[in-house]
């Protein structure tokens, strides 16, 4: 057994797992161990944020941490090793691999690359190109080197605002066209984003003094060039001349560099990245239709207050959202065809005989939609307990990917922000989403008289491939009817 093979068996790597459903990457939020720490099977070593939630990762073997491959804040692809563990630390330092015997070979000939496409983590790499770059010919020393040196010095002098030095004695040579001061001798080195920034700010990269490695122009160099250009230049003393009227301050536009300095760029990753991708996919895949209804919920608000003092609801959170959720579940029971999904591959509509009720929750990491499994089969106290646990878990960042998968319909409570209603976008794979607006005291015709009543606006968005206008209208009307007369929770439930 070679030293390399022994090391491979001794040091084990823990790779980034797929902690969700087909996730491809995760960001390392926090390491709980350091190099040299002893770990045991099942011990949590780090916390990662996937496109769905923050998850703690346990390591599946014992040993001593030998290496942390990535730091905190780094996004790692699934299947990439993130930590190396020495499973036999008592054997002392690892043996170094024996050096290979030197082989005499011409230094100018690189090692030939393997032919054909090479296997990578997923699929195969790109096919090798048959195009070969021709070697650049070496430029011989020109007979007129002094003349070229003088020309370069003259160009630099003109760019610096000085007189050009005297030309050396003429040397017989082929006529050389003088270079324009506006054209640099070589193309400045800069990355594409820096070139775009310079173009947007009107900066010629040839006039920028690079400070980056190997003479690369950086973003700071471009901003410094703009600042130097906009700074007042020193003027030699001359006879006073009639001053032109100064333009008003309002007529002077802000410099682009000032605007860029007042902007903050936030990387899009984790939950926010997944939400953005899901909303774009949903908006441009499912044909959305949104309907609205304004309803008097005074009786529902009174029932909320009564339930808070009910012994069966003791210790449970009772709020209007709970009764809205129950009203939607009753409406789905009366209109089961709304609880379905679209199977594009098989061109089928899949009707669900269970309701996994999603609740949109705003968290510090972004918007997530965990769901209550089989919510239609729960009693009101059970639904209240599940709803309270779901919201508290989401706010603490402990929602698991399983809690956010398999939803069928969703409720978004925009009323907590004082918003009347909205046009919510469907959670991908679901058939409908109900927006619950703010409850406000408004004048309302009640029993033939205008009275102040507690009123809210509901909005139902649905996938028009699954739900036609009649079905969507019936569902929304049933929800409104239950909230207007909550006794229908008994007669319809």
The verdict on whether 464 is a catalytic residue reads yes
Give phi and psi for 83, each to the nearest 5.
-150, 145
How many helices (H) does the chain have, and how many strands (E)?
11, 21
- In angstroms, how far is CA 171 from the centroid of its own chain? 64
Q: Return contacts of 401-405, CB within 8 angstroms, 24+ apart.
A: 401/19, 401/20, 401/21, 401/23, 401/50, 401/52, 401/53, 401/55, 403/53, 403/370, 403/371, 404/52, 404/53, 404/368, 404/369, 404/370, 404/371, 405/20, 405/21, 405/52
- In angstroms, how far is CA 209 from the centroid of its own chain? 35
* 324: enclosing H helix or E strand: helix 320-334
* CA–CA distance, 373 with 355 (Å, rounded to integer): 7
The count of C-alpha atoms lying within 13 angstroms of the C-alpha of 111, restricted to the half-sphere facing its C-beta, is 4
* CA–CA distance, 208 with 190 (Å, rounded to integer): 11
* CA–CA distance, 484 with 354 (Å, rounded to integer): 26
- In angstroms, how far is CA 455 from the centroid of its own chain? 37
Annotated active-site residue in 66, 223, 288, 464: 464
Phi-psi region of 330 (alpha: psi -120 to 50; beta: other; left: phi over 0): alpha
CB 331 within 8 A of CB 482: yes
* CA–CA distance, 250 with 125 (Å, rounded to integer): 57
* CA–CA distance, 403 with 389 (Å, rounded to integer): 11
Tokens encoding 196: 């775009």
* CA–CA distance, 39 with 74 (Å, rounded to integer): 22
In 3D space, the residue among 351, 466, 362 whose CA is nearest the CA of residue 412 turns out to be 362
Residue located via tokens 């691999």 = 97
CB atoms within 10 A of CB 55: 22
Per DSSP, the residues of 386-453 read HHHHHHHHHHTT---GGGGSS--EEEE-GGGGT-----PPPPTT-SEEEEE---EEEEEEETTEEEEE
Active site residues: 464
């Amino acid at each position: 057994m070679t030293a390399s093979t022994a090391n491979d068996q001794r040091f084990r790597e823990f790779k980034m797992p797929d902690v969700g459903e087909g996730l491809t990457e995760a960001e390392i939020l926090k390491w709980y161990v350091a190099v040299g720490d002893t770990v045991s099977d099942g011990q949590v070593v780090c916390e990662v944020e996937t496109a769905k939630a923050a998850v703690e990762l346990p390591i599946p073997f014992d040993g001593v941490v030998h290496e942390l491959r990535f730091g905190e804040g780094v996004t790692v692809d699934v299947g990439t090793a993130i930590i190396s563990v020495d499973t036999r630390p008592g054997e002392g330092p690892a043996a170094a691999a024996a050096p290979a015997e030197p082989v005499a070979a011409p230094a100018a000939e690189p090692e030939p690359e393997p032919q054909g496409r090479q296997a990578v983590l997923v699929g195969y790499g790109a096919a090798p190109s048959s195009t070969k770059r021709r070697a650049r010919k070496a430029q011989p020393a020109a007979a007129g080197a002094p003349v070229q040196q003088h020309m370069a010095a003259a160009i630099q002098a003109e760019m610096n605002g000085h007189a050009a030095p005297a030309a050396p004695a003429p040397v017989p040579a082929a006529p050389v066209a003088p270079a324009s001061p506006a054209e640099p001798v070589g193309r400045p080195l800069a990355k594409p984003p820096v070139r775009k920034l310079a173009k947007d700010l009107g900066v010629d990269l040839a006039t920028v003094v690079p400070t980056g490695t190997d003479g690369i122009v950086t973003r700071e160099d471009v901003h410094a060039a703009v600042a130097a250009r906009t700074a007042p230049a020193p003027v030699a003393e001359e006879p006073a001349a009639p001053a032109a009227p100064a333009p008003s301050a309002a007529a002077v536009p802000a410099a682009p560099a000032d605007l860029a300095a007042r902007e903050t760029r936030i990387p899009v990753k984790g939950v926010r990245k997944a939400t953005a991708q899901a909303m774009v996919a949903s908006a441009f895949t499912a044909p959305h239709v949104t309907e609205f209804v304004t309803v008097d919920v005074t009786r529902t608000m009174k029932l909320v207050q009564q339930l808070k003092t009910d012994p069966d609801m003791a210790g449970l959170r009772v709020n209007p959202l709970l009764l809205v959720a129950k009203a939607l579940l009753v409406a789905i029971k009366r209109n089961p065809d709304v609880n379905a999904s679209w199977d594009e591959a098989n061109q089928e509509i899949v009707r669900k005989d269970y309701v996994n009720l999603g609740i949109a929750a705003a968290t510090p990491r972004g918007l997530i939609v965990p769901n209550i499994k089989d919510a239609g089969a729960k009693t009101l106290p059970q639904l209240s307990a599940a709803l309270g646990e779901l919201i508290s878990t989401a706010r603490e960042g402990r929602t698991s990917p399983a809690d956010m998968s398999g939803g069928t319909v969703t409720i978004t409570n925009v009323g907590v922000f004082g918003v009347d209603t909205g046009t919510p976008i469907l959670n991908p794979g679901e058939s409908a989403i109900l927006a619950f607006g703010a409850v406000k005291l408004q004048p309302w015709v009640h029993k033939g008289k205008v009275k102040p009543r507690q009123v809210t606006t509901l909005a139902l968005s649905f996938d028009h491939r699954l739900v036609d206008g009649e079905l969507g209208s019936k569902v929304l009307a049933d929800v409104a009817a239950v909230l207007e007369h909550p006794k229908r929770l008994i007669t319809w439930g």
